[in-house]
Structure 1
Amino acid sequence: METNPIPVLTIQTTPFDDQRPGTNGLRKKTTVFESRKNYLQNYIQSVLSSIDLRDRQGCTMVVGSDGRYFSRAAIEVIVQMSAANGIGRLVIGHNGILSTPAVSCIIRKIKAIGGIILTASHNPGGPAGDFGVKFNVANGGPSPDTVMERIYQVSRTLEEFAICPDLRIDLSRLGRQDFDLENKFKPFRVEIVDSVEIYLNMLRGIFDFGAIKSLLTGPEQLKIRIDAMNGVMGPYVRRILCDELGAPANSAVNCVPLEDFGGQHPNPNPSFAVSLMESMKGGEFGFGAAFDADGDRCMIIGGHPWLRSQHAHQHSSGQGGQGNEGGYVRNPRRLEVFREPDGLGQVLFLWRESFGTGSDHIREKDGLWSVLVWLSIMAVRKQGVEEIVRDHWAKLGRNYYCRFDYEGVDPRAAFYLMRDLEAMITDKAFTSQKFAVGNNVYSVEKTDNFEYIDPVDGSVSRNQGLRIIFTDSSRIVFRLSGSGAGVGATIRIYAESYERDPERHSRETQVVLGPLIAIALKISSIHERTGRRGPTVIT
C-alpha cells in the first residue's frame, strides 16, 4: 500500500541566550526542556546546523539515552528534526537505551558522523530532576571546545528549525524503519538496534572472558555485588556479567532503568550508593561496583579478603587465560602519561577522580570496562581489591585525594570568586608563599590555570582548573564545574597528597589532607563569599 510522503516543515523561532553547552553538553532542569516552547528544538537544530551541510546530507548518526524522564519525547523530536535536516540514517538503541560508552563504540564501529546522548550523567532524573543533551563527534568522543562554541554561536542567532512532525517511530521494534519525505533528502532510515550487542562484541575482543567466567563460577567463586542504580547499565550488567560471564542473577541489583532512577541520585560514590556500601559491610561479597546513570563512571569496592592465604604466591603474569600477555587485557602496550580534561586524546588508560576510567578502545570513560579490568586482574593474581591496591601502594606510593563540591552557588559569586582567586595565585609573589598548618609547612612551587592541547587534533581546552602545586607534590585545584544543570554554579575544590612511605599508607584521608583543605578554604574565602558553612558533597 503506497503512503504519501511525510511533509517537512520550517518553523519560525526565537533564540535563547542560555544554550551554551558545558563540559558534557547542555544540562538544565527537565522543566526547562519540557515546558519552554521550542527550547529542545532550538538546541537540536543548533547541533545539526553545526555540521557542514555537505557532511550532514545522507550521513549516519547514533542516538541513545540513559532512560531518564523526557528521553522518549526528546528522541521523537530528534528523529523528526534529523529527517528534516538531511540526515540519512539514525541508529537508535532499543527502547531508546544506550550507555555513553556504547554510543561511542557504535559511532566508531559504523563510522557515523556523531551521536546524540540524552543524559545528565549522575544528576537526578524525573519531572523535577535534570535533563541533558550531549553531542559526540565522529571519533566517538565528546565535542571539543571548538564544536561546542560553534553550536552555541548558532543557537544565539537561530530564527527557524526544520522538522517532520508527522514522522513516528516505534522504539520497541528492533530492525529497520524507512520513511519517504517531501524533500530532496530521501529516503530516511531509522534502525533500532540491540542496546548491548555491539558493545559486548567489542569487549569480547578486549578481555579473556573465559578467565573472568572461571573467577565468577569456579570452585573458589568470587561473589560480586553490582548496583546499576536504576540507570542505563541494568541491561548491560544482566547480559554481560550474568548471562555471558556466569555471575548469579542476584549478583546484580537495581537493573531496571527508571525515569527517576527510583528517586535516587545515580551517582556512584559512598554518599549515594548507600545500599551497595551496606551490602559490602556484611562480608558476603568480595567485589562490589556501582554505576552512574549513563554508564561512563563506576565506583569499585573491595570486599572480604578473597582467597588471601592460599593464593598469595600466584602473582606472576600470564596465568589468566590463553592469548593474554599479562593474563587480563589483550595486547597491552607501553604506558605514557598525559594530563587531560574530560574526554580522551592519545591515551591508553584514563582515570578520573570522579570514579571515571577508560582506555583507547573508545573515546569515552567506560564503567563496565573498569569492572572487567578489575575482575581480570583478580583472576590472574588470585587476590582481592584491597590486597592489589596495597601492593601497588607499596611499590609506587599512595596518592591521597578528596573533593569538596559546593553546588547551587550564585553564578555571579562563583564567577568573581574564581576571577579573584586566579589573579591571586598567578601573581608572581604567590609562588614564594609558604603555608603553615599545625606541624605541616607547604611551599608553593607552581601555579596556573591549566589548559590542554590535544595531541591528536590540536584542539585547546582552556580554564580546566586553578592549580596550586607544592614542592612536596601536594596540590590544590579549584574548578568551576561545567557539568551542572544550570541552577546555580558548582565550585569544586580538590586536594591531593603523595605518600611514598608504606608505613604511612593507612592514615585517614581527612587527617592527611586536612591541612591542604584548610589552606584552600582560607585563600579562597569560599564560605564567606558564598554564604555556605560547608560543601554540599564530599568525595
Structure 2
Amino acid sequence: MRATTVSTQPIAGQKPGTSGLRKTTPEFMAPHFLENFVQSIWTGIGGLAGKTLILGGDGRYFNDRAAQVVLRMAAASGAARVIVGRDGLLSTPAASHLIRSRGADGGVILSASHNPGGPDGDFGVKFNIANGGPAPEAVTSAIFSASRSITEYAIVESQDVDLSVLGESRLGDMVVEVVDPVADYAALMERLFDFDAIAGLFASGFTLRFDAMHAVTGPYAAAILQDRLGAAPGSVVNATPLPDFGGGHPDPNPIWAHELMAAMSGPDAPDFGAASDGDGDRNMIVGRNCYVAPSDSLAVLAANATLIPACRGGLAGVARSMPTSQAVDRVAEALGIACHETPTGWKYFGSLLDAGLVTLCGEESAGTGSDHLREKDGLWAVLFWLNILARRRVPVARVMADHWQRYGRTYYSRHDYEALNADLANALMDDLRARLPDLPGTDAAGLIVRGADEFAYEDPVDGSRAEAQGLRIWFENGARAVFRLSGTGTVGATLRVYLERHDAQTLDYETQFALAPVIAAAEALAGIASRTGRTAPDVVT
C-alpha cells in the first residue's frame, strides 16, 4: 500500500458557498473533481499531518464512493485517525457533535443538504472546523484559493475500507474508526431534554408522524422517537435512507413534504407531525391542521425555552439570519435579552455561540439550533417541540394561538424564483441596489418606502465583516421585503424574495392574503415578472 501523486490542474467552479461546495452529481463524479476539492481542503486548513477527522454523509448517490476517496486521500496526507459513521452515514448534527465530543480537528460532511439526490441529482462536500461548525470565510477562501492553483493530489492505492463493521482498522499508517452514527447523538439528546416527560406524553395516547423523507434522519428518529420514547411503531415513515431519497425532494416544507401535510389535515390526523431533510439539519413542524412556519417556530422555542432542562436557567441571547422574520425579536425584547441579526449561513452563528452570547439561533429556511452544537439540528427541534407539548399538554394550534395573542402575528413568506439566467438575476439585483438610496419616500404599489439598504455584518466577537448580504426594504406600515440571490442551488441562479408584516390585531388571515400588499410592492420595485418572464414564484414557503 503506497501513496501516489496524481498530476492535475485547476477545475473552475470550486468556490464553496454558505454550506460547502454543491454541484450536480455528474460534476462531482467527473475525473479529478472530487479529488481536487478534497486536496484543496487539506491545503486550505494547513495540511492534515497528525490530525483527526470526522467523516460521514447523508447516504445520497455517490456517498459511498466519495467516502472511500476521502479516506484514501486523508491517509496519503498523513492524517492520524478518521472517525467515520457506519456505512459512511452521519447526519450533519451528529457529525458536529462527534467533532466536538471527540476533540477532532474538523470533519468532512458529504451532503447537498435538502437538494435532490440520485445520479442526476446533486452532491456536496463541506468542511467543518474544530468547534463543529461550518468553516468560516477565511477558511473557505483559503480552500478556494488552493483550488485555483492546484497541480497535484495525493491518494493511497488500496482496497475499500469495510465501513459496515464497527471498530478500528488501518489504512496505511492511519487509523479508521467506524462508529455507530446514532448512539452518541441520541445520548446527547437525552441529556438536553426531559425524555421521561416526552415518554409520558406518548404513553397518554399522543400520536406522531415523522417523515424522514428517505434521508439520513430515519435511523435517528426511529431509535429515539420509537425505541426510546415509545412513539407507536410506524410513527416514523420513509425511515430508510435511499441514494435518491425515494425519488423525492428531501426539503421539509409544505411543497415537498406534501404527504405529511395531507396526513396532518385528514380526519385521522396525528397530534403532531414533523419532517427533516437530506442530512438531518432542517425541520418542519406541523400540528393537526396547523403548519408552523420556521420563523414562528424559532420564536415559540425562545418563548418556551425554560420548559427544557437544557435552558432552565434562561437564554443568554438569540440570533437569527437577516432574512428570517422578526418574530423572535419581539420575544427577545420581552425577555430582556439580545437578538443578533446575522447573514444567511450557519457559520455566522459560530462565534456568537462560542462566546456565550446566544443560546438559541435559527434561519427561515427551516434551520434551528442551540449551543449544544455548531450546526442546525432537525431532530433536536422536533424534540424541543415535544418537550414543550409534554409540559403544556395543549395542541400545537393552541401553542401558536397563545403565542400570537401575546406577541402579535408576523405574517411571513419566502418566494423562490429558481434556475434563472445568472446574468439576468445579477442585473436585476444590481439595478435594484443602485436605486436603494433614492427609494425612501417613494410609493411602491401603495406602500411608502421608509428605508432601504444592503445588509452588511460585522461580527461582534472577531470583528470580521461580511458585505453584500441582501437588499432590505422597509415600508411605513412596518412591513419588510428582502431580496437575495441564494448560494445553495446548482443550476443557474435562485432569487429569493422574503416578505413580512406584523399584525397585533388580526391573527387568522391566510398568509399570502395578509402579505398581498407587500408582494405587490416587491414586484413594483424589482420588476421580476417583466425582467424574467416569471409571473409567479416556483416555490412559495
**CA offsets, 1:411-438, max 9 Å, x none?**
111111111111111x2x212223343x
Counterpart among 99, 102, 125 of residue 110 in structure 1: 102
Q: Per the alignment, in what secondary structure is the counterpart of residue 148 of structure 2? A: helix
Q: CA deviation at 1:330?
A: 4.5
**CA offsets, 1:462-487, max 9 Å, x none?**
322111122333110011001112x1
**After the TM superposition, which of the residue ranges 123-132 and 273-282 deviates more from structure 2?**
273-282
The aligned residue for residue 298 of structure 2 is none
Q: Per the alignment, in what secondary structure is the counterpart of residue 205 of structure 1? A: helix
Which segments of 5 or more consecutive residues in structure 1 lack a partner in the other structure? Answer: 1-5, 181-186, 306-319
Q: CA deviation at 1:273?
A: 0.5
Counterpart among 354, 378, 393 of residue 382 in structure 1: 393
What one-letter code is carried by the residue in structure 1 that aligns with 2:63? S
> Is the contact between residue 210 and residue 235 of structure 2 (CA under 8 Å) also seen in structure 1?
yes
- Give the greater-gyration-radius structure (CA): 1
Is 1:488 aligned to residue 492 of structure 2?
yes
Q: CA deviation at 1:304?
A: 6.6
The aligned residue for residue 31 of structure 2 is 37
- Output aligned runs, 1:199-214, within 5 Å: 199-214=185-200
Counterpart-to-counterpart distance in 2, 1:259 and 1:536: 25
**After the TM superposition, which of the residue ranges 42-51 and 518-527 deviates more from structure 2?**
518-527
Is 1:435 aligned to residue 440 of structure 2?
no
The aligned residue for residue 157 of structure 1 is 149
Counterpart among 505, 508, 512 of residue 506 in structure 1: 508
Q: CA deviation at 1:46?
A: 0.6
- Output aligned runs, 1:24-423, within 5 Å: 24-34=19-29, 36-53=30-47, 56-180=48-172, 187-217=173-203, 220-282=204-266, 283-303=268-288, 326=307, 329-334=310-315, 335=317, 336-341=338-343, 342-343=345-346, 344-345=349-350, 346=352, 347-423=358-434
Q: CA RMSD in A?
A: 1.7
> Is the contact between residue 7 and residue 151 of structure 2 (CA under 8 Å) also seen in structure 1?
yes
Count the aligned residue pairs: 497
Q: CA deviation at 1:203?
A: 1.1
Q: CA deviation at 1:329?
A: 4.2
The aligned residue for residue 527 of structure 2 is 525
Q: Per the alignment, in what secondary structure is the counterpart of residue 453 of structure 2? A: strand
Which segments of 5 or more consecutive residues in structure 2 lack a partner in the other structure? Answer: 291-303, 318-337, 353-357
Q: CA deviation at 1:177?
A: 0.9
**CA offsets, 1:249-298, max 9 Å, x none?**
11110000000000010111111111111111223300000111111111
> Is the contact between residue 308 and residue 384 of structure 2 (CA under 8 Å) also seen in structure 1?
no
**After the TM superposition, which of the residue ranges 157-166 and 447-456 deviates more from structure 2?**
447-456
Q: Per the alignment, in what secondary structure is the counterpart of residue 124 of structure 2? A: strand
**After the TM superposition, which of the residue ranges 465-474 and 247-256 deviates more from structure 2?**
465-474
Counterpart-to-counterpart distance in 2, 1:406 and 1:37: 32
> Is the contact between residue 213 and residue 238 of structure 2 (CA under 8 Å) also seen in structure 1?
yes
> Is the contact between residue 407 and residue 491 of structure 1 (CA under 8 Å) also seen in structure 2?
yes
What one-letter code is carried by the residue in structure 2 that aligns with 1:146? A
Counterpart-to-counterpart distance in 1, 2:456 and 2:225: 38
- Could you list the structure 1 runs, at least 4 aligned residues long, displaced by more than 6 angstroms after superposition: none
Counterpart-to-counterpart distance in 2, 1:116 and 1:13: 22
Q: CA deviation at 1:511?
A: 1.3
> Is the contact between residue 444 and residue 522 of structure 2 (CA under 8 Å) also seen in structure 1?
no
Seen in structure 2, the aligned counterparts of structure 1 residues 454 and 175 have a Cα distance that, compared at 3 Å, is farther
TM-score, normalized by length of structure 1? 0.89
Q: CA deviation at 1:333?
A: 2.2
Counterpart-to-counterpart distance in 2, 1:332 and 1:375: 19
Q: CA deviation at 1:509?
A: 0.8
Counterpart-to-counterpart distance in 2, 1:197 and 1:454: 35
> Is the contact between residue 55 and residue 85 of structure 2 (CA under 8 Å) also seen in structure 1?
yes
What one-letter code is carried by the residue in structure 2 that aligns with 1:497? R
> Is the contact between residue 329 and residue 376 of structure 1 (CA under 8 Å) also seen in structure 2?
no
> Is the contact between residue 11 and residue 148 of structure 2 (CA under 8 Å) also seen in structure 1?
yes
> Is the contact between residue 208 and residue 329 of structure 1 (CA under 8 Å) also seen in structure 2?
no
Seen in structure 2, the aligned counterparts of structure 1 residues 71 and 100 have a Cα distance that, compared at 3 Å, is same
> Is the contact between residue 401 and residue 496 of structure 1 (CA under 8 Å) also seen in structure 2?
yes
> Is the contact between residue 328 and residue 373 of structure 1 (CA under 8 Å) also seen in structure 2?
no
**CA offsets, 1:99-147, max 9 Å, x none?**
1111111111112111111111111110011111111111111111221
Q: Per the alignment, in what secondary structure is the counterpart of residue 192 of structure 2? A: coil
> Is the contact between residue 468 and residue 475 of structure 1 (CA under 8 Å) also seen in structure 2?
yes
Q: CA deviation at 1:21?
A: 1.1
The aligned residue for residue 536 of structure 2 is 534
